[in-house]
Each structure stands twice: as structure tokens, then as C-alpha cells.
Amino acid sequence: MSVAYKTATAHGAQGALFTDGINRRYVSGFPSTEGMALCHAEGVALFLDMRYAVSAENAGLAEEVTVIRCTGGISEEVKRFAQDKGINKLIIESTAVTIAELERLKTGLEGIEFVPVNNICGTARQIKTVGEIACIRKAQSITDKCFSHILSFIKRGVTEKEVAAEMEYFMKKNGAEGLAFETIAVSGAKSALPHGVPGDDVLTENAFFTLDFGASYGGYCSDMTRTVVLGKANDEMRRIYNTVLEAQKAGIAAVKDGVYCKDVDAAARGVIAAAGYGDYFTHSTGHSLGLEIHESPACSPKSGDVLRAGMFMTVEPGIYIENLGGVRIEDMVLVTEDGCEDFTSSPKELIEL
Ligand code: ZN
Ligand code: ZN
């Protein structure tokens, strides 16, 4: 019995209806831009139009998943299915269904009561299965390969956009299904912007160059950040870099099953504060990820969540000084009973190119 169906029965409903791409993929194993997935007592019904139905039938999906061809409209097929099964109450994901969509559901599936529920799949999506872990491992191995490739591409005169484009091309060429998120490649003063956008400027010499990037594989994301220097780092840059590196190592050392997320944040933040840069670390230490690049829980100062074995977390402290630049170092780790496994294998010592 699926987690989603269990949640549905707890709410007095006979199933869970997913209209968003992420949850639909999670419960069915099939990616599509449109469709609906209904988790009911006997399995998962995946409603797809003819752009997707044939591919889904041939995708070797789990036995519990039945693909339903929707030649005359998705709502119509869901309605017919619900009538056949005697379904008159469904839960829907409250964070994924818009008000407009709910109105459409109520009109298209007249007679069915919809109950919005937050986080229907609960912790099941947080604790990764063997198959999910394998996808993330592959995504990260492509990402690590990309980092070593891009080191030979970075040189005087190239632009941030050229570097980002080369990285994206390399990841796709080396097996990525797509990007986990838009690549961040920001140089010089712009490296002080944690989510800066690559531009047409050539890389600044003797300055930080921050690369935050990831691939997706089987729908699952990887996420890493390295900061390098084109030219030479001065003493202050070296001090900033090494502080972030120590903070990142302290954060990773704190990750373990049963540990509070806020304590991982405190371990990393403490190192940065002790070095006098506390005011310049302006975001959380890390986040979970999976089908989405940012998933719950997060290692933030106020989080009340606890880490559990099988969760993936990033550990990514940074120091950002306006008009000077910034450093962030990010690895992705799998929480285990006695610590964590670091899935990121790229070197972390300061690299000057
Ligand atoms: Zn990142
Ligand atoms: Zn991240």
C-alpha cells in the first residue's frame, strides 16, 4: 500500500490525486509535463494524453502502475475511473495545486470532494531508496567530472556565460538528463551574490570565481559548489577561503542520524563567526534534495528538524563581502547511522588557475 494512499485513508478519502510533475513522477516513476496520477487502494493509475501514454506503457514502470490513455481528455478519464471504483473523495497536495487548478478540478471532476493536504508523501520522499541513491550518485559523478573538465577551460578572456555554457554542454554530453538548476558561474565582485547570474563579463583576474552547478539523472538532482581563483589569491582571500573550508568540514563532521539540523548549521556557522566573518554568512548551511533541488529539511539556524539515515543534505557555508567577492564550498552527503557519506569527490583546497 502506497504512502499516499495511507495518507488518503487517514483523511477519510479513497485516494490521492497528483497533478504536479514532481509528485506525479515520484509515485509513478514517469516524467511528463501534463497528466494526473491517482494513488488508490489497488495501485497507481497514471493518466496521460497521447503525447506520453505510449512511452509510459513501454517504460517498464512498476507493476502497481497502470497507464491510462486519455484520448478524450484527462479529467474525463479520471472521472470515469473514479466512478468505476466508487471514489468520491480525494486528497490533493496543497502546496502544488493552485487555486485556479482546484477550480478546474471541481468543475472537471464534479461529484468528487477534494481535501488539500500538505506533504502527502511525508518522510517517504525524504528518506531515499536504493534506486534513488543510485540516481543521485550518478548525477553527482557527472557533476564532479564536469568540475575537473572546466578547470582546463577557465582562462583569461573567457566570460562567465561561456564557462556556464561549457559546463552545461559537458554534463549533458556525459549522461545528464538535464540540469538540476540554472548554473551559477560568477566572478570577482559578483561572486558575493550567492545566486548571481552568469553574464557577458570576462572573468576578473586575481579574484574569486564561484561555480554552483548540478546535473539531473533519472529525475534526481546533484548540487555542488567550488570557488577557484583565476590568477593569485592575496592573504585576505586565502583567509576567507580557508575559513569557509574549515566551516564546511565542521558542518560535514556534525552530520549524523538523530542530529538536529540546527546543530549542523551551528557547527559550520561557529567556525565562520569565530574568524570574525559571522555577518557575512547570510544563508542556511544546507538543504535536502532529490527530485527537487531544494527539499525539506534544511540545516538552518531555526530548524526543529532532525536528520535521519537515508536523507541527502548539502553542506554549503559561504562568506560574501560586497564589492570584494565571495566563497562558497558545497558538497552533498548521504546521512548514515554513524555519520555521513560524502558523494562529492572533487578537491576542496584552494585552486589558483
Ligand atoms: Zn548549489
Ligand atoms: Zn545547494
Assign residue 164 the CATH number of its domain. Answer: 3.90.230.10
90 and 74: one domain?
A: yes
CA–CA dist 65, 2 (Å, integer) = 11
Closest CA to 79 of 107, 44, 120: 107
Here the CATH number for the domain that contains residue 24 is: 3.40.350.10
Average pLDDT along the chain, 353 residues, taken 10 residues at a time: 92 97 95 97 97 97 97 94 96 95 94 95 93 98 98 97 98 98 97 94 97 98 98 97 98 98 98 98 98 96 97 98 96 98 98 97
Torsions phi, psi for 79 (to 5 deg)? -60, -45
Separation of CA 161 and ligand 2 centre (Å): 20
Q: Give the ligand whose atoms come closest to the C-alpha of residue 195.
A: 1
Q: Within a domain: residue 348? A: no
Separation of CA 293 and ligand 1 centre (Å): 9
pLDDT at position 141 is 98
Separation of CA 17 and ligand 1 centre (Å): 31
Separation of CA 223 and ligand 2 centre (Å): 6
Separation of CA 154 and ligand 2 centre (Å): 22
94 and 183: one domain?
A: no
90 and 180: one domain?
A: no
Q: Give the ligand whose atoms come closest to the C-alpha of residue 287.
A: 2
CA–CA dist 246, 218 (Å, integer) = 33
Separation of CA 224 and ligand 2 centre (Å): 7
Q: Give the ligand whose atoms come closest to the C-alpha of residue 328.
A: 1
Given 99, 125, 151, the domain boundary residue is: 125
120 and 206: one domain?
A: no
Q: Within a domain: residue 95? A: yes
120 and 135: one domain?
A: no
Q: Within a domain: residue 18? A: yes
- pTM comes to 0.93
pLDDT at position 78 is 96
185 and 330: one domain?
A: yes
Task: Give residues with Cβ within 8 angstroms of 59, minimum separation 6.
Answer: 29, 30
Alpha carbon separation from 258 to 207, 310, 340 (Å, rounded): 40, 12, 12
Domain that holds residue 34: 3-125
Separation of CA 299 and ligand 1 centre (Å): 14
pLDDT at position 194 is 92
Grid cell listed for 96: 502544488
CA–CA dist 158, 174 (Å, integer) = 23
Separation of CA 266 and ligand 1 centre (Å): 19
134 and 232: one domain?
A: yes
Q: Give the ligand whose atoms come closest to the C-alpha of residue 295.
A: 2
134 and 121: one domain?
A: no
Q: Which helix (H) or strand (E) holds 115?
A: strand 113-117
161 and 48: one domain?
A: no
Separation of CA 204 and ligand 1 centre (Å): 22
Find cell 525524504 and name the residue: 126
Q: Give the ligand whose atoms come closest to the C-alpha of residue 225.
A: 1
Separation of CA 316 and ligand 2 centre (Å): 7
313 and 256: one domain?
A: yes
Angle at 306 between CA 300 and CA 307, to 5 degrees: 95
Separation of CA 281 and ligand 2 centre (Å): 14
Given 92, 125, 158, the domain boundary residue is: 125
pLDDT at position 1 is 73
Separation of CA 313 and ligand 1 centre (Å): 11
pLDDT at position 289 is 98
Helices (H), 11-72: 21-28, 53-57
* 8 A C-beta contact, residue 297 and residue 290: no
Separation of CA 139 and ligand 1 centre (Å): 13
**What is the residue-wise DSSP string for 302-350?**
T---B--TT-EEEE--EEEETTTEEEE-BEEEEEETTEEEE---S--S-
Separation of CA 302 and ligand 1 centre (Å): 21
Q: Within a domain: residue 349? A: no
53 and 137: one domain?
A: no
Closest CA to 78 of 164, 146, 19: 19
Q: Within a domain: residue 353? A: no
Q: Give the ligand whose atoms come closest to the C-alpha of residue 210.
A: 1
Separation of CA 220 and ligand 2 centre (Å): 14
Given 77, 106, 125, the domain boundary residue is: 125
113 and 162: one domain?
A: no
Looking at the structure of the chain, the number of domains it has is: 2
